[in-house]
Amino acid sequence: MRLKNPLLLLLLTSTLCAQSDLAHTIMVAVTDIMSPVNMYNVGTQTITTSSGKERTFEMESWSANKGEKSLTRYTKPAAIRGQAFLMLNNADDIWTYFPRTKRVRKLASHAKKQKVQGSDFTYEDMGGGDTFLTQFKSSYVGKEEREGVSCHKIELTGIPSEDPPYPKMTLWARDSDYFPISIDYYNDKGQNHKSLTLSDIQTIENFPTAMTMVMTNHLERSSTLMKTVEATYAWEPPKGFFTERNLKK
């Protein structure tokens, strides 16, 4: 349909531009609030398979430079104690360490899309950086209540040339502080592949922190629950911390 009224066209264009600006502003805030400079975290991870079988792990995680560098080491159960993975350049470079072989192995670049320890999170999901801003075009959908909370709903469309982790995502960020409480991930068939919910949000050292995160895989009918037991943003990485050598400690 062709709009013949130039004033109507101008108003429509202005509205679309304003919505685009609002979406971008919100996603800048989301990226900022989700990217503390440094962090140390102790937590648990429980994977529930489609058959109902559960596996629980305990781990320690460290990150620096707003998530650009991170290291995760498993502490329990005994069978995997000491297993670790190092991610640099926002998960573009990944190394893993297995105590039984005492070898550090660098993963291929496509491995960032693989599951971490068989969970519903990929390495890429756990990476940091400004992915929302550089690999997606954001569109403001409107206000919507989610989990009983008033939120801004944003649709993120992947920019093919930037190799986005997903073709499309939908994100709900709280009105109060733009902290995201829910994200839907879509595959290249347009299916809602996975959904992430963030809850029990507490303020730790002036940072909103989701103490509980659940990633649900709708296609595989599995889920992964991650709980934060302890967290601090005052941690400072010692020299040489994010290195292959430190994976073995």
Q: List, in sequence order, every beta strand (DSSP E) within the chain.
A: 39-48, 54-64, 69-76, 84-88, 93-98, 103-106, 136-146, 149-158, 168-174, 180-186, 192-204, 207-217, 222-232
What gap in Å lies between CA 178 and CA 148, rounded to an integer? 15
Q: Give Cα separations from 185 to 60, 82, 156, 188, 247 (angstroms).
A: 26, 31, 10, 10, 31
End-to-end CA distance of the chain: 65
The DSSP output letter for 52 is: S
- For residue 247, the model assigns a pLDDT of 92
- For residue 109, the model assigns a pLDDT of 86
- For residue 2, the model assigns a pLDDT of 47
Helices and strands in the chain: count of H runs, count of E runs: 3, 13
Report yes or no: 39 and 63 within 8 Å, Cβ to Cβ. yes
- For residue 54, the model assigns a pLDDT of 97
Report yes or no: 223 and 215 within 8 Å, Cβ to Cβ. yes
- For residue 248, the model assigns a pLDDT of 85
Gyration radius of the chain's alpha carbons: 20
- For residue 16, the model assigns a pLDDT of 43
Q: Per-residue pLDDT for the chain (249 aa), expressed as one digit of tens each?
A: 444 554 443 433 344 445 668 999 999 999 999 999 999 999 999 999 999 999 999 999 999 999 999 999 999 999 999 999 999 999 999 999 999 999 999 999 888 999 999 999 999 999 888 899 999 999 999 999 998 999 999 999 999 999 999 999 999 999 999 999 999 999 999 999 999 999 999 999 999 999 999 999 999 999 999 999 999 999 999 999 999 999 987
Amino acid at 225: L
Alpha-helical runs (H) found in the chain: 6-33, 131-134, 244-247
**What domains appear along the chain, each with residue ranges and CATH number?**
31-247 (2.50.20.10)
Report yes or no: 180 and 197 within 8 Å, Cβ to Cβ. no
Q: Nearest to residue 70, comparing CAs of 127, 146, 138, 12?
A: 127
- For residue 5, the model assigns a pLDDT of 54
What gap in Å lies between CA 3 and CA 169, rounded to an integer? 31
- For residue 129, the model assigns a pLDDT of 83
Burial of 69 (0-12, 13-18, 19+ CB in 10 A): buried
Neighbours of 77 (CB within 10 A): 11
- For residue 249, the model assigns a pLDDT of 75
What tokens appear for 137 in the block? 């075009």
Residues with Cβ within 8 Å of 20's Cβ and at least 6 positions away in sequence, in order, are 138, 139, 140
